[in-house]
Amino acid sequence: MKGKFITFEGCEGSGKSTQLRLLSEYLTARGVDFIMTREPGGSGISEDIRKIILNGKNTEMCDECEALLYAAARIQHLKQTVAPALDCGKLVICDRYVHSSLAYQGYARGLGTEYIEDINKIALEKFNPDLTVFLDISPTDAFKRKHGADKNDRMEQLGIAFHEKVYEGYKRLLPLYPRICPIDCGGTKEQTHLNVIKLLKDKNIIN
Ligand SMILES: Nc1ncnc2c1ncn2[C@@H]1O[C@H](COP(=O)(O)OP(=O)(O)OP(=O)(O)O)[C@@H](O)[C@H]1O
Ligand SMILES: [Mg+2]
């Protein structure tokens, strides 16, 4: 695969969408050939699976079903959207990836790292991102920015204790996955954007 693959991670409201929008503007202005995509989603089937996962009415969903749906959406998205773009030499930028599954389902839900790694083997082995940007801010601070959790989003409705666990899960991934780089995002959107650009340059993702 000729292109580079980078992903953004962080708790709800950490600023992923904001930073992807600013990065998109930056790359467009410089003529970089890239695609911006998201998980779960990024292909028709995966967007359908996203609706099932996030639907606030699906309160009976067991943890394993949730983890497998994320993995199913992921592999479809990888094969249908990500791989063709990488083969064409594009830079692929994705909002969330397998590290979300490790932090949310593996750690916070308690399914364990091994289970998540097992059901995401292809993603981890064949589509290992060149860089993962971790927007490092606690969920308490991040939710303040969003003015609280989205009432229609099943994951956001899980309460602050769950999201604190997700944050702890992310922190535990750092020594295990050296391609995850935490960046301070406690400042303004523009300051964080500059931190993102510096990181992408330092890691030779962009010139
Ligand atoms: N550095 C910042 N300072 C202040 N507010 C910010 C900052 N970055 C983002 N925000 C605001 O915080 C809110 C959440 O940001 P955003 O939607 O980008 O987060 P997200 O990580 O994509 O959230 P989600 O997980 O829900 O998709 C938005 O209202 C956004 O404008
Ligand atoms: Mg977002």
Flag whether 108 is in a domain: yes
17 lines ligand 1 (CB under 6 A): yes
148 lines ligand 1 (CB under 6 A): no
146 lines ligand 1 (CB under 6 A): yes
pTM of the full predicted structure? Answer: 0.97
* Nearest ligand by distance to the CA of 134: 1
201 lines ligand 1 (CB under 6 A): no
Q: What is the pLDDT along the chain (207 residues), one digit of tens a residue?
A: 799 999 999 999 999 999 999 999 999 999 999 999 999 999 999 999 999 999 999 999 999 999 999 999 999 999 999 999 999 999 999 999 999 999 999 999 999 999 999 999 999 999 999 999 999 999 999 999 888 889 899 999 999 999 999 999 999 999 999 999 999 999 999 999 999 999 999 999 999
Q: Is 159 helix (H, G, I), strand (E, B) or coil?
A: coil
15 lines ligand 1 (CB under 6 A): yes
Q: How many domains are there within the chain?
A: 1
Flag whether 185 is in a domain: yes
Q: What is the distance in A from the centroid of ligand 1 to the CA of 66?
A: 25
- Structural domain of 152: 5-202
The answer to whether residues 165 and 12 touch, using CB atoms and an 8 Å cutoff, is no
- The candidate with the shortest Cα–Cα distance to 5, out of 74, 67, 66, 65, is 74
Q: Looking at ligand 1, which residue's alpha carbon is closest to its atom 16? A: 15
CATH number, domain of 41, equals 3.40.50.300
According to DSSP H, which parts of 147-188 are helical? 160-173
Q: What is the distance in A from the centroid of ligand 1 to the CA of 144?
A: 9
pLDDT for 146 equals 86
Flag whether 207 is in a domain: no
Flag whether 126 is in a domain: yes
Question: Pocket of ligand 1, candidates 8, 9, 17: which has the most ligand atoms within 8 Å of its Cβ, to mutate?
Answer: 17
40 lines ligand 1 (CB under 6 A): no
Flag whether 173 is in a domain: yes
Flag whether 148 is in a domain: yes
Flag whether 42 is in a domain: yes
Question: Pocket of ligand 1, candidates 9, 138, 140, 145: which has the most ligand atoms within 8 Å of its Cβ, to mutate?
Answer: 145
46 lines ligand 1 (CB under 6 A): no
Letter string b/e over residues 136-172, b meaning 16 or more CB atoms within 10 A of that residue's CB? bbbbeebbeeeeebeeeebbbebeeeebebbbebbee
Cα 93 to Cα 131: distance, rounded to the nearest angstrom: 10
